């Protein structure tokens, strides 16, 4: 009834190809941005912002990175956690050497380092395919993880062996470190995520994105059509790692705030992000947000929600139950909607268009 395109004529090709062709879509995205930028910071508690919203945005960014290489280009990568780590450590080194430069610039710039590393580890993708490639990317995961622990230069020879996030100011407001308020960190991260989503959307809707999808659908055919596999695959890996690297830097600097995070970039992180991508929908940007929201929120609900409604759980039992439930939910969602929440969203939109007379 409300979601209908009647009367909205598309007069040009670009209008027809727009990302949000319908007025309702544009209004919807504006409302979402408004809620994210105004309502959540002013009405959400600090707990909500720092436990739910900030991790959600970080994971969405990381999932976007993985989706570029797995969902759009069809190359399964299990090295996401490590590429995020490269971003975090690069950002740390950069801000150590150049403390005067605004940290946001370094967070973005750290993406280039992980893009370079990603491109190197993407090289085997030219010869290896499918699960063989997935296992090969695990080499990146384990090698980089080893580097993070064994090369003390990376963490400035700290006694803790982890990144210790320093306080950095922009215009006199602390952005990172222990003094930064959740609201500032939230705004910084929101800005980064919105900007990078916009960039990703443009890249993926353009020539580059189409060549990615051609490679995904069948790389031999794509090659015959004149797409250079070497360049395309490496670009996909680099772009994906760029996003993962920025996500890793934001994760370390704006979410964790240092310390206690030495195993933030391990293999489990890679798997969880892969699962966010799959549950959200392979090859869909909005799916990244759905997947990140779902997979991040479920453990929080289990952790804080169950005691709140009076289910008494000891620490260890809760942990076991959490494993059981998360595993069960993974299988449940795969069975119910193997194409991810993004597909569900499309079906809903289609239903809304014809509602209430589906004929």
Our CB check for other proteins shows the closer of 98 and 142 to be 142
In 158-274, which ranges are E strands?
168-170, 173-176
Scanning 29-37, 136-144, 171-179, 301-309 for contacts with other proteins by CB under 8 A, the matching segment is 136-144
Length of the chain: 359
Based on CB atoms, which residue is closest to other proteins, 6 or 336? Answer: 336
* Per-residue contact string for residues 88-127; x = within reach of other proteins by CB under 8 A: ------------------------------------x--x
309 binds other proteins (CB under 8 A): no
User: 169 is written with which tokens?
Assistant: 């100011």
Pick the closer one to other proteins by CB: 26 or 320. 320
130 lies in the site for other proteins, by CB under 8 A: yes
Q: Are 252 and 91 in contact (CB under 8 A)?
A: yes
The answer to whether 90 and 245 have CB atoms below 8 angstroms apart is yes
338 part of the interface to other proteins, by CB under 8 A: yes
Q: What is the dihedral of CA 147, 79, 198, 246, to 10 degrees?
A: -10
Q: Under DSSP, is residue 169 helix (H, G, I), strand (E, B) or coil?
A: strand
Q: Which stretch binds other proteins (CB under 8 A): 45-53, 61-69, 245-253, 318-326?
A: 318-326
The three-state DSSP-derived secondary structure of 47-102 is HHHHHHHHHHHHHHHHHHHHHHHHHHCCCCCCCHHHHHHHHHHHHHHHHHHCCCCC
Is residue 153 a contact residue for other proteins (CB under 8 A)? no
Residues forming contacts to other proteins in the complex (CB under 8 A) are 70, 76, 124, 127-132, 135-136, 138-139, 142-143, 145-146, 149-150, 218, 220-221, 224, 267, 271, 274-275, 278, 282, 316-317, 319-331, 334-335, 338
């Amino acid at each position: 009834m409300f979601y209908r395109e009647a009367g909205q004529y598309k007069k040009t090709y670009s209008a027809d190809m727009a990302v949000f062709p319908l007025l309702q879509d544009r209004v919807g995205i504006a409302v979402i941005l408004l809620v994210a930028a105004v309502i959540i910071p002013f009405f959400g508690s600090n707990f909500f912002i720092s436990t739910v919203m900030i991790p959600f945005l970080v994971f969405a960014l990381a999932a976007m990175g993985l989706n570029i290489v797995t969902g759009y280009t069809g190359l399964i990568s299990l090295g996401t956690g490590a590429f995020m780590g490269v971003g975090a450590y690069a950002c740390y080194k950069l801000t150590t050497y150049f403390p005067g430069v605004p940290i946001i610039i370094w967070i973005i710039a750290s993406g280039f380092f992980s893009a370079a590393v990603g491109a190197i580890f993407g090289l085997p993708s030219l010869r290896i395919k499918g699960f063989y490639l997935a296992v090969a990317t695990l080499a990146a995961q384990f090698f980089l993880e080893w580097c993070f622990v064994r090369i003390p230069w990376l963490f400035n020879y700290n006694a803790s062996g982890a990144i210790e996030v320093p306080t950095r100011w922009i215009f006199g407001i602390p952005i990172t470190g222990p003094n930064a308020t959740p609201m500032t960190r939230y705004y910084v991260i929101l800005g980064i995520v919105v900007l990078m989503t916009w960039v990703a959307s443009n890249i993926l809707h353009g020539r580059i994105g189409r060549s990615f999808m051609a490679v995904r659908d069948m790389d031999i055919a794509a090659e015959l059509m004149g797409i250079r596999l070497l360049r395309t695959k490496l670009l996909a890996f680099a772009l994906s790692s760029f996003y993962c690297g920025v996500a890793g830097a934001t994760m370390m600097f704006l979410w964790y705030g240092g310390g206690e995070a030495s195993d933030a970039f391990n293999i489990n992180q890679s798997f969880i992000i892969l699962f966010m991508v799959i549950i959200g929908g392979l090859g869909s940007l909005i799916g990244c947000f759905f997947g990140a929201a779902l997979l991040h929120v479920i453990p929080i609900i289990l952790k804080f929600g169950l005691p709140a409604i009076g289910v008494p759980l000891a620490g260890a039992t809760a942990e076991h139950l959490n494993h059981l439930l998360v595993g069960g939910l993974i299988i449940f969602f795969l069975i119910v909607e193997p194409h991810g929440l993004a597909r569900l969203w499309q079906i809903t939109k289609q239903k809304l268009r014809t509602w209430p007379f589906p004929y």
